[in-house]
Structure 1
Amino acid sequence: MKKVQQLLEWLKKHPAPALAAEPTLNAASGVDRRNFLRNSALGGLSLGLMFDGKTEQEMEFITQKVKRDSKPSELKITDLRIAVLQGVPFSSPIIRIDTNQGLVGWGEVRDGASPNYALMLKSRLLGKNPCNVEKIFKEIRQFAGHSRAAGGVCGVEMALWDLAGKAYNVPAYQLLGGKYRDHVRLYADTPEGKDYTDFAKNMELRRKQGYTWLKMDFGIQMLVNEPGALVGANGWNVRNQWSDNGAQKLGNYAQTKHPFTRIQVTPKGIDKLAQHVSKVREIVGYDTPLCADHFGHFDVNTAIQIGRAMDPFRLAWLEDLVPWFYHDQWKQISDAIDTPTLTGEDIFGKEEFIKLIDAKAVDMIHPDLASSGGLLETKKIGDYAEEKGIPMAMHFAGSPICMMANVHCAAATENFVALEHHGVDVAGWEDIVTGIKPIVEQGFVKVPDKPGLGVELNEEAAKKFLKKGATWFAPTDSWNTRDSADREWS
């Protein structure tokens, strides 16, 4: 009994995660530490004592057959709360879903989206079994729009897969049908620098970091101060592609769909863009895939002219030349140029991707899992594209929680090629979670085999990114009551 007492003393000083955190070893499942030790004393515990006082080895031995999963059929959602992180690299509302068995599921609303998109779903989740992921998704998907408006539904779906994986003690990819790969390839943006020499240094840094796929931004915003390069640009704030502010007499450039600005690029402007890409390609070399984004708002004719000028440089793709819903215009562009075309980061649901694919409008698709529908819907999108011979890259610009949701989906989808990483240069980004370290290694992420998404929020590190004025997972009782009839049919 002397060694039993030693173990009891050790447990007081070291509350082991395998005992303290596992839902089968708590009041909800009817098993506590005292009964566990008492029952084990006659069997496994006595065998464990053969390690001659090596307490760590003894505890590992006697708990090796302890059931690690919860009681999935009795699991219920009890709460949903949110903490908004800033600068990861953008604004990212983190979702925490609590359950009656102590399991916690983590999700994330898409970058730049309102946390209210998720909070309004709380009353529709309380009391439900999170393991019924697809059923719940079908019930709440009516509240998702395209782009950021899908952020709540997709973020909740991530958290449900995290909970289901933890309940059944398997990684999320396993619940999606298994994995095609052990490592997920990343592609990274590269800061341009003040000149090409500076840019070359940045590119060399990316190589040392191990990235084997790179991305650059170039477009008509680079031509604003170039005389004779643009036609019709003077009435627009061409440098500002993103903000709702700054409208001029002709309107808000950022909020005006591409064909309606009537901005054109002259041959001089086209040559200037081609010279820029030529220099970048010379720096990068031709052994590394290089894709491009953020061209500006102009019509399909200009898009074709720019695309043809880029053909000699063998770019991996040209992204979002016109809005995704102009299928006919995308087909015009794709048919007219040799460089692959790509779009999709703002599309919600497989239905719109199917239309885009069936129209043979683009060469590749580019869903953002935090907008496209979460893990399962994005896998369905990828699977449909695969049947049609279309590869899938994935857009991503959030915290490690959302990245891991992407990693599990990418692992389970055969036609996946590369996942974006927008937070490469964010100090402390990897510390936001625990469970996998390092997350990114030589431009790849190793697919984790831990339950659920494979990571837990590291509160100490994550609080450093808490948005100014935001609260840390404050109570959300005001969202508990459902106040509408949601049925979509009569």
Structure 2
Amino acid sequence: MTTISNTVNTNSSPSKLRITDMFFTDIIGAPMHCTLMKITTNQGLVGLGEVRDAASRTYAAMLKSRIIGENPCNIDKIFRRLKQFGGQSRQAGGVCGIEIALWDLAGKAYGVPVYQLLGGKFRDRVRIYCDTDVRGKHSGSDMGRALKERMAMGFTFLKMDLGINQLFGEAGTICSPTGIVSPDLRDLPDRSDPHHRLLARNRSYDANNIAHPFTGIHLTEKGFDRLEQYVHDVRQVIGDDIPLAIDHFGHIGVDDCIKLCRRIEKYNLAWAEDMLPWQLTGQYQHLHNHTTVPLCTGEDIYLKENFQPLLASGALAVIHPDILSSGGIYENKKIGDMAQDYGVAMAMHMAESPVAAMAAVHSAAATENFLVCENHSVDVDWWDAITTGTPAKIVQNGYIDVPDKPGLGIDDFNDEVLKEHLHPAFPTLWAPTSEWDGEWSHDRLWS
């Protein structure tokens, strides 16, 4: 005889669930440096999380003492406590990584997939696009053939790079002040000096972190000709029917962005991504007013309120948050819902492990105006094996199926695979974090 008690999941008592610890493993080549995370509980449930690609585990570890002993099912309460410690782009990685681990725990505790806790799903599978790289000097026809291979794999949405990086070394295509395009390393101490590596890194940081309006970089007519020809040659190979988005233009100013967009308008682009720093709302409006190319940005924006000025400006056709920078699964859905109110679609950036990918899938499934999600790891042959309990091929025919398993739909990390790809700077698998247990500060933001 079947009774209610036979069908209820009694592996967890949600009201008594408590967070007990936090652990990290760093891997490299997935394709980025990824910091993977586990949050453990007093009932044996483990929540899987991840810090944003190429960020620092410190962004999450510093928050450990603020969540130990808390019930992970109180996600919104914990998020409101933590969100002051997140910042734009990678600085949000700790808050967001913890947030998705909390959703994984809540779903496991109640025995339901995360999307169900968000109100249900609008779709059973999530469309994926893959950013496509061709190494070395190459032509638009070469890129077209690489994209054609993606189409043969079942992808129905494509993206490629187009910008000043493709012009380096070709005389007469770029006009720029000396020292702007590459860092000046002439006065660094000898390599035997212990500070050489750090100084070189910081010099490179200084050279490569100048915002677009201040670089003084311009394309010449020859440069514009080359980039227009590149897009033409790509379309000649892949045809006009499949959406093609473009990214990585380089740090050029708004006037050059206008000139380039006008050159490539005729090639029916899905969007031009991150042409300008996202903070420059007025410049995005100016660009939008001078081109019909759909504009897209958002992977570096943290929290719903920081998307609002761009959405209100009317400059964007697509927002493009990353689940590990936007605020996590729930905040990401709020962002998508707000964008829908402004008539803007939501795509999603994703260059991390299957944990971030599945977190993005749940948020996308629960958001009506979702368009497409990135996967930057199509060419990483061990990416699917990072986790257990997920399909042997997570992306199939250009889609990820929305899982019905509890939480994110992942059983665990595959430690044998992780051991083969540990970041050399972090050689310990699931390193303990006891040094952060006593971290304390007076966190109130008012007197």
Verify same fold: TM over 0.5: yes
Distance in 2 between the 1:72 and 1:473 partners?
25
User: 1:302 aligns to what?
Assistant: 256
Q: Which has the higher contact order (CA 8 A, sep 6+)?
A: 2
Richer in helix (by share) = 1
Distance change >3 Å, CA 357–CA 385, structure 1 → 2: same
Distance in 2 between the 1:273 and 1:239 partners?
25
Q: Alignment partner for residue 466 of structure 1, among 413, 422, 437?
A: 422
User: 1:442 aligns to what?
Assistant: 397
Check whether the contact 1:237–1:246 (CA below 8 A) recurs between aligned residues: no
* Cα-to-partner distance string for 1:97-126 (whole Å, 9 max, x where unaligned): 000000000000000000000000000000
User: 1:423 aligns to what?
Assistant: 377
Q: What are the equivalent positions in structure 2 for 1:85-234 lying under 5 Å apart?
A: 85-192=27-134, 195-196=138-139, 198-234=142-178
In the TM superposition, what is the alpha-carbon distance from 1:237 to its structure 2 partner? 2.5
| TM-score, with structure 2 as normaliser | 0.91
Q: Alignment partner for residue 273 of structure 1, among 221, 227, 245?
A: 227
Coordinate RMSD, CA, aligned: 2.1
Check whether the contact 1:258–1:297 (CA below 8 A) recurs between aligned residues: yes
SS at match of 1:105: strand
Check whether the contact 2:9–2:111 (CA below 8 A) recurs between aligned residues: no
SS at match of 1:369: coil
User: 2:432 aligns to what?
Assistant: 475
Query: Which of the pair has more CA radius of gyration?
Result: 1
Which residue type is aligned with residue 69 of structure 2? G
Distance in 2 between the 1:269 and 1:262 partners?
15
Q: What are the equivalent positions in structure 2 for 1:235-246 lying under 5 Å apart?
A: 235-237=179-181, 245=201
In the TM superposition, what is the alpha-carbon distance from 1:235 to its structure 2 partner? 3.1
Task: State how many pairs are aligned.
Answer: 427
| TM-score, with structure 1 as normaliser | 0.84
In the TM superposition, what is the alpha-carbon distance from 1:222 to its structure 2 partner? 1.9
Distance change >3 Å, CA 244–CA 274, structure 1 → 2: farther
Which residue type is aligned with residue 468 of structure 1? P
Distance change >3 Å, CA 340–CA 219, structure 1 → 2: same
| 1:355 corresponds to 2:309 | yes
In the TM superposition, what is the alpha-carbon distance from 1:192 to its structure 2 partner? 2.4
User: 1:35 aligns to what?
Assistant: none
Distance in 1 between the 2:259 and 2:200 partners?
28
User: 1:325 aligns to what?
Assistant: 279
In the TM superposition, what is the alpha-carbon distance from 1:467 to its structure 2 partner? 1.2
SS at match of 1:236: coil
5+ long unaligned stretches in structure 1: 1-42, 45-62
User: 1:37 aligns to what?
Assistant: none
Distance change >3 Å, CA 117–CA 399, structure 1 → 2: same
| 1:411 corresponds to 2:353 | no
User: 1:14 aligns to what?
Assistant: none
SS at match of 1:342: strand
User: 1:54 aligns to what?
Assistant: none
Distance change >3 Å, CA 262–CA 187, structure 1 → 2: same
User: 1:389 aligns to what?
Assistant: 343
Distance change >3 Å, CA 244–CA 435, structure 1 → 2: farther
Check whether the contact 1:189–1:215 (CA below 8 A) recurs between aligned residues: yes
Distance in 2 between the 1:383 and 1:150 partners?
21
In the TM superposition, what is the alpha-carbon distance from 1:266 to its structure 2 partner? 1.7
In the TM superposition, what is the alpha-carbon distance from 1:396 to its structure 2 partner? 0.7
In the TM superposition, what is the alpha-carbon distance from 1:228 to its structure 2 partner? 2.2
Check whether the contact 1:68–1:169 (CA below 8 A) recurs between aligned residues: no
Check whether the contact 2:145–2:238 (CA below 8 A) recurs between aligned residues: no
Distance in 2 between the 1:64 and 1:283 partners?
58
Instruction: Give the share of equivalent positions with the same residue, in percent.
Output: 48
User: 2:195 aligns to what?
Assistant: none
Distance in 2 between the 1:190 and 1:121 partners?
36
* Cα-to-partner distance string for 1:104-160 (whole Å, 9 max, x where unaligned): 000000000000000000000000000000000000000001010000000000000
Distance in 2 between the 1:244 and 1:316 partners?
38
5+ long unaligned stretches in structure 2: 185-198
